[in-house]
Amino acid sequence: MNLMTAGGRVLALFKRDIHVFVRNPTALLFAVASPLVLAVLVPMFFRGEAAGVISGILPDAGMGDVHALGAAWACSTVAILSLFSSSAAVLIVFLADRREDRIDVHRVSGTAWWELVCGYLLTSVLVSFAISFLVVLLGELGGAMAGHPVMSFVVWLRVILGILLAAVFFTALNALAITFVFSPGIFGAHCFAMGVATGFLTFSLSFTHGLGLLRLLPFAQAASVIREPMLIPALNRLDPGASLDLTYALGAVVRWGATTWYAVVVVIVLLLWSAITMALAFWRMGRVLADR
Reported as a pLDDT band with limits 50, 70 and 90, residue 207 is: very low
Find, among 75, 78, 69, 82, the residue nearest to 231 by Cα. Answer: 69
Please tell me the predicted confidence (pLDDT) of residue 109: 62
Report whether pLDDT(146) > 60: yes
Mean pLDDT of 226-242: 80
Find, among 292, 285, 291, the residue nearest to 116 by Cα. Answer: 285
Report whether pLDDT(164) > 90: yes
Find, among 291, 215, 213, 204, the residue nearest to 250 by Cα. Answer: 204
Please tell me the predicted confidence (pLDDT) of residue 210: 47
- Burial (CB < 10 A; 0-12, 13-18, 19+), residue 35, is buried
Please tell me the predicted confidence (pLDDT) of residue 1: 43
CB 262 within 8 A of CB 195: no
Please tell me the predicted confidence (pLDDT) of residue 140: 94
The one-letter code for the residue type at 45 is: F
Mean pLDDT of 243-271: 73
Reported as a pLDDT band with limits 50, 70 and 90, residue 54 is: confident
Lowest-confidence pick of 5-9, 17-21, 108-112, 223-227: 108-112
**What range does the domain containing 121 cover?**
2-290
Lowest-confidence pick of 114-128, 133-147, 222-236, 241-255: 241-255
Cα(178)–Cα(184) distance, rounded to whole angstroms? 9
Mean pLDDT of 44-73: 78
Provide the sign of the torsion angle of the four alpha carbons 251, 252, 258, 259, taken in this order. positive
209 DSSP 8-state letter: S
Reported as a pLDDT band with limits 50, 70 and 90, residue 8 is: confident
Q: Which of 90-94, 130-134, 195-199, 259-263 has the highest mean pLDDT?
A: 130-134
Report whether pLDDT(128) > 90: yes
* Total domain count, the chain: 1
Percent of the chain, pLDDT > 70? 77
List, in sequence order, every residue forming a beta bridge with 255; answer none if it has no partner. Answer: 260
> What end-to-end distance do the CA atoms of the chain give, in Å?
28
Find, among 133, 129, 198, 118, the residue nearest to 165 by Cα. Answer: 129
Percent of the chain, pLDDT > 90? 22
- pTM of the shown model: 0.87
Find, among 279, 243, 94, the residue nearest to 178 by Cα. Answer: 94
Q: Diameter of the chain by CA atoms?
A: 68
- Alpha helices per DSSP H over the chain: 2-23, 25-57, 63-90, 92-99, 102-108, 113-145, 153-178, 184-207, 218-235, 243-249, 263-290
List, in sequence order, every residue forming a beta bridge with 260; answer none if it has no partner. Answer: 255
255 φ, ψ (degrees, to nearest 5):
-135, 135
Digit-coded pLDDT (tens) for 65-104: 888 888 888 898 889 888 988 998 888 888 888 777 666 5
Digit-coded pLDDT (tens) for 15-41: 888 888 888 887 888 888 888 887 887
Mean pLDDT of 138-167: 93
Report whether pLDDT(107) > 60: no
Cα(69)–Cα(75) distance, rounded to whole angstroms? 10
Q: Which of 87-91, 108-112, 235-239 has the highest mean pLDDT?
A: 87-91
